[in-house]
């Protein structure tokens, strides 16, 4: 009958929406569980590199970084074999060599991203594995070819992770990294949002922001792993001149394929067939 039909339709519409909502809620819970698993897998990961018992605090570098017969392998193939090298405090050294020779690996051993397989790396005569790893990393500024930038303003990207910095410090760091000119040319200057991973900037601009961040930290040890590879030669040299003028002078390890950089370095170390040849 008509009344029954009207009641039926009304009932149908009343039930339809809540049942759709239940299905949606279930789908959302499932999405949340998957995301949660991925986040907690990272939060719960146990670091492979640990402090030894009673780690030694490390506040600065006084003398040198020494590679003492260092060998390293990721798998069965040796990447570095019996490397010995002394980098004096304040020196700027260039690591050069063919692609895949082990330059990045050598630099990654200094902050203990990996531990050496044989031998030892020492800072001021003490094995870096004996130091508190947090202290060790806090001595370093590391800029790689792949910049790590966030969807935020230029200012916040440069100051990321640092407290009590002044506007002057940030501007000075940007100047040293040769970034000030392009920053000021943007409509909102330092307050410009750079998009996801800095997508609104060019590769060279991203690299200069990453260098400005490292310079702002003013670390005693600076590792640049092809950090200026996207810059034109003139800008790259201006950045290196800026780095050379830093006081106190950081100990720099620069990985590069560009010959023009070498004029700024105290020494050039070539890695070939897992060995080093000093030049
Ligand atoms: P490029 O100039 O191309 O950056 P590189 O000299 O910096 O090269 P590394 O990145 O240090 O070279 O790599 C040295 C060797 O170690 C390569 O043969 C590479 O395949 C290998 N390797 C690098 N990282 C890993 C890893 N996480 N696991 C296993 N092998 C790796």
Candidate of 48, 103, 106 to mutate for ligand 1, largest count of ligand atoms within 8 Å of Cβ: 103
pLDDT (average), residues 247-257: 92
Q: Is the pLDDT of residue 278 over 80?
A: no
Q: Would you say how long the chain is, in residues?
A: 279
Q: Is the pLDDT of residue 145 over 90?
A: no
The alpha carbon of 22 and the centre of ligand 1 are apart by a number of angstroms equal to: 50
pTM, two decimals, is 0.84
Between the alpha carbon of residue 94 and those of residues 61, 73, 128, 133, 275, the distances in Å are: 19, 22, 21, 25, 15
Nearest ligand 1 atom, CA 97: 6
52-82 pLDDT, tens per residue? 999 999 999 999 999 999 999 999 889 999 9
Pocket of ligand 1 (CB under 6 A): 74-75, 79, 97, 99-105
Q: What is the DSSP string of 40-79?
A: HHHHTPPPSS-PPSSPBP-----SEEEEEEEEEESSSSEE
Nearest ligand 1 atom, CA 107: 11
Strand partners, 254: 94, 224
Structure confidence at residue 269 as a pLDDT band (50, 70, 90): very high
211-248 pLDDT, tens per residue? 999 999 989 999 999 998 888 888 888 888 888 888 88
The alpha carbon of 80 and the centre of ligand 1 are apart by a number of angstroms equal to: 10
Q: Is the pLDDT of residue 103 over 80?
A: yes
Mean per-residue pLDDT over the chain, rounded: 92
The alpha carbon of 110 and the centre of ligand 1 are apart by a number of angstroms equal to: 15
Sorted by sequence, the CB contacts under 8 Å of residue 91 that are 6+ apart come out as 251, 252, 266, 267
């Amino acid at each position: 009958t008509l009344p029954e039909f009207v009641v039926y339709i009304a009932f149908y519409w009343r039930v339809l929406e809540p049942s759709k909502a239940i299905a949606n809620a279930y789908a959302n819970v499932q999405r949340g569980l998957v995301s949660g698993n991925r986040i907690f897998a990272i939060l719960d990961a146990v670091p492979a590199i640990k402090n030894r018992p009673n780690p030694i605090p490390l506040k600065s570098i006084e003398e040198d970084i020494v590679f003492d017969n260092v060998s390293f392998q990721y798998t069965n193939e040796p990447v570095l074999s019996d490397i010995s090298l002394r980098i004096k405090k304040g020196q700027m050294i260039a690591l050069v060599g063919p692609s895949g020779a082990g330059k990045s690996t050598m630099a990654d051993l200094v902050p203990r991203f990996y531990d050496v397989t044989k031998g030892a790396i020492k800072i001021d005569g003490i094995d870096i594995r004996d130091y508190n790893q947090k202290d060790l990393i806090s001595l370093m500024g590391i800029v790689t070819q792949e910049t790590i930038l966030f969807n935020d303003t230029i200012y916040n990207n440069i100051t990321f992770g640092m407290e009590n910095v002044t506007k002057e410090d940030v501007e000075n760091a940007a100047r040293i990294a040769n970034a000030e000119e392009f920053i000021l040319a943007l409509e909102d200057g330092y307050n410009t949002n750079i998009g996801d991973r800095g997508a609104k900037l060019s590769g060279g601009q991203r690299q200069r922001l990453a260098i400005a961040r490292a310079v702002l930290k003013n670390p005693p040890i600076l590792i640049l792993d092809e950090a200026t590879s996207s810059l034109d030669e003139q800008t790259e040299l201006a950045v290196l001149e800026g780095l050379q003028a830093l006081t106190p002078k950081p100990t720099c390890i620069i990985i590069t394929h560009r010959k023009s950089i070498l004029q700024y370095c105290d020494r050039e170390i070539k890695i070939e067939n897992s060995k080093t040849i000093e030049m």
